[in-house]
Amino acid sequence: MDSDDPTSANSATDEGSAIKQIAVFLPNRSGAFVSILNLLQSNHVVVLGLSVQDSIDNTVVRLVVSDPDTVETVFMEKGIPFNSTDLVVVELREGAEQLPECLRILLNAETNVHFIYPLLTQPNGRAAVAMCVEDNQFGDSILSKAGFKVLRQEDLSR
């Protein structure tokens, strides 16, 4: 876990807690990801978003979950290697058509997007994307000022 990073783990604003991504490192073998999903399900955690990066030896699975604190605890107890980082999750009120506008705002602000992926669920019935940007607070601020709704963990958790 990356506890020395001030932009990750437990940062919060007046509106709520930042959405935390859990990146889990798995061996590239049959059933490894299903085992993780089963473990999360047995601990009453719902996967809300995911991105999978596969290589010959390892797989990195990035997860947005309903209860990141429980996932961190379970992974530590089970010795499963992981990392946590905060994300900017933006609701796209007009659907996927709004994604280019969102990215243009970040581009015009000269803020890099390290990676992006959609959520599996639709908070408030609307599409949403999870982004890791070089400065989450700045990204959050400029997107909010442009009229985008930036979601918090409380918006996703049950």
CATH number at residue 49: 3.30.2130.10
62 and 111 share one domain: no
Question: Which domain CATH number covers 100?
Answer: 3.30.70.260
With 50 as the cut, is the pLDDT of residue 10 above it? Answer: no
**Closest by CA position to 21, among listed 70, 53, 62, 51:** 62
Residue 155 has pLDDT above 60, yes or no: yes
pLDDT at 9: 40
Report the distance separating Cα 156 and Cα 147, nearest Å: 20
Quick one: pLDDT at residue 152? 92
The answer to whether residue 102 is domain-embedded is yes
Among the three residues 64, 85, 106, which one is the final residue of a domain in this structure? 85
What's the confidence (pLDDT) of residue 4?
38
Q: Which of 27, 50, 85 is the last residue of a domain?
A: 85
Cβ 60 vs Cβ 4: under 8 Å:
no
Q: Domain count of the chain?
A: 2
Range of the domain at 143: 87-151
pTM: 0.84
In this structure, the answer to whether residues 123 and 145 fall within a common structural domain is yes
